[in-house]
């Protein structure tokens, strides 16, 4: 059974204070690893899909990286509008269903 663990559960940063969120996974096979952002009361917003170890993707202040056992979401010089819950999910080969972690709730204070 695929398992995804995200840490920390919650993270408080000052504006401009860079940090990283961790997503550890155990899978029998990996088709893709997904990162989403979710604002309160909203559906998850797609950020990145990573497919193989060593891959990196960037979008504005966010950069996602992937190894064989974990993924990191690096946030550089965050702003208050980056406050949200960040979800990580894995997708098995041959299927479109996702197994999610519990999320990291990020709060960025001005």
Partner 1 sequence: ETGVTQSPTHLIKTRGQQVTLRCSSQSGHNTVSWYQQALGQGPQFIFQYYREEENGRGNFPPRFSGLQFPNYSSELNVNALELDDSALYLCASSLARSSGNTIYFGEGSWLTVV
Binding footprint of partner 1 on the chain (CB under 8 A): 4, 6, 31-32, 34, 36, 41-46, 49, 87, 89, 91, 95-103
CA–CA separation, 39 and 1 (whole Å): 28
Cβ closest to partner 1, residue 78 vs residue 103: 103
Q: How far is the CB of 100 from partner 1 (least distance, A)?
A: 3
Cβ closest to partner 1, residue 1 vs residue 110: 1
Cβ closest to partner 1, residue 15 vs residue 45: 45
Indicate the DSSP class of residue 81.
G
43: left (phi over 0), alpha (psi -120 to 50) or beta: beta
Within 1-110, residue ranges assigned H as helices are none
């Amino acid at each position: 059974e695929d398992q995804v663990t995200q840490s920390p559960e919650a993270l408080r940063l000052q504006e401009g204070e860079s940090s990283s969120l961790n997503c550890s996974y155990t899978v029998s096979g990996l088709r893709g690893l997904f990162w989403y952002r979710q604002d309160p009361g909203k559906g998850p917003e797609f950020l990145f899909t990573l497919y193989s170890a060593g891959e990196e993707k960037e979008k504005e202040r966010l950069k996602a990286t992937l190894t064989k056992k974990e993924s990191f979401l690096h946030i550089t010089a965050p702003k208050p509008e980056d406050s949200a819950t960040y979800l990580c999910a894995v997708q098995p080969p041959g299927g479109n269903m996702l197994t999610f972690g519990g999320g990291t709730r990020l709060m960025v204070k001005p």
